[in-house]
Amino acid sequence: MRMTRGGVLTGVVRVRGIESAAGLAVLASDGLGERLATRVTTDGTYRFAGLAPGRFELAVALEDDVPVRRLDGAMIPATDVVVVEGTTVHLDLTYDAPTRVVVEGVVRFGDVSTYGIGIALVEADDRAAANLDARMIRSSLRGAKITPSGAYRIEPAAAGSFVLKVSIPTSSGTTSILRPCTIGVGHNVVDVIEPCGAIVGRRSGTRMRMVQARGERADGTVVLVDARCDPATGEFTMPLVPAGAYTLLADARTDPIDVVAGERVVAPNP
């Protein structure tokens, strides 16, 4: 493919699914393994000059992919065009952006470290997964690591209705939040920032030696806090409870209890 004299190929790249053509490139292949690439300007125009006469296949790609696409033998062309010596050919192209879905945000439980926190995105109708602790979900598409600053990023395969599950281990059990969310194509931000208090109490005679606090919010979010009772005294501590209203459950007994951020609440003692 020669870049002296020859013909000119120019046009406009129209985009769908993204705001502008910035970051795109047009590739031209003569079908014999030789390829050229030119950057698409911010207004969507592209231009090749000095093309040898002949037929060219054209494709639009992300500019970051161009080094690979120029060497790779497989290229899915958008269209083809014939270039004639000494002439200018105008040809407009269309680029359909991939339907990428990204969910990211920040997770904070009071002022505790993010170490050990698990987060996962579960399909809203996946009942089996909804019963799993978020730390037990290992899907590469639905699970994510949380950075020391509390940031996370998940890329599900498609948009839809999900439950964001966040779990953190405590000294006596687990605190979990199940937040329903509708995720659309593109960038979605879902923060989980929870000011926390604590619940302490005593449940002598509790057969299962476990106490659970369950809270349900107006937006459908469910908070579950589990704690083990001391086998000798029946005392328990829930050190990390997001602020809100709860029902404390132990065996068949239930007690309403309100938790205020930064405060320790003493549960009713039967």
**pTM of this structure:** 0.62
Domain count, the chain: 2
Write down which residue in 96, 123, 147 finishes a domain. Answer: 96
Residue 88 sits in the same domain as residue 107: no
Residue 260 sits in the same domain as residue 128: yes
C-alpha gyration radius of the chain: 29
Residue 113 sits in the same domain as residue 138: yes
Residue 119 sits in the same domain as residue 251: yes
Write down which residue in 66, 96, 126 finishes a domain. Answer: 96
CATH number at residue 30: 2.60.40.10
Residue 145 sits in the same domain as residue 28: no
In a domain, 15, yes or no: yes
Q: Got the DSSP string for the chain?
A: ---SSSEEEEEEEEEESSS--TTEEEEEE-SSS-EEEEEPPTTSEEEEEEEPSEEEEEEEEEGGGHHHHHH-S----SEEEEE-TT-EEE--EEEE----EEEEEEEEETT---TT-EEEEEETT-HHHHTS-GGG---TTTEE---TTSEEEE--SS-EEEEEEEEEE-SSEEEEEEEEEEE-SEEEE--EEE-EEEEEEE-TT-SS-EEEEEEE-TTS-EEEEEEEPPTTT-EEEEEEEESEEEEEEETTEEEEEEE-TT-EEEPP--
Sequential pLDDT tens for the chain (270 residues): 444 578 999 999 998 877 888 888 998 888 776 788 899 998 999 999 999 999 998 888 877 655 434 444 445 556 888 999 989 999 999 888 777 788 989 999 998 888 888 888 888 776 555 555 544 443 333 567 788 888 888 888 788 889 899 999 999 999 999 999 999 877 789 999 999 999 999 876 655 578 999 999 999 999 999 999 988 888 999 999 999 999 998 777 889 999 999 999 999 876
In a domain, 1, yes or no: no
Residue 11 sits in the same domain as residue 65: yes
Residue 149 sits in the same domain as residue 201: yes
CA dihedral sign, ordered 125, 126, 130, 131: positive
Structural domain including 172 reads 101-266
Residue 51 sits in the same domain as residue 151: no
Write down which residue in 96, 114, 144 finishes a domain. Answer: 96
Residue 214 sits in the same domain as residue 257: yes
Residue 252 sits in the same domain as residue 150: yes
In a domain, 2, yes or no: no
Q: Are 134 and 120 in contact (CB under 8 A)?
A: yes
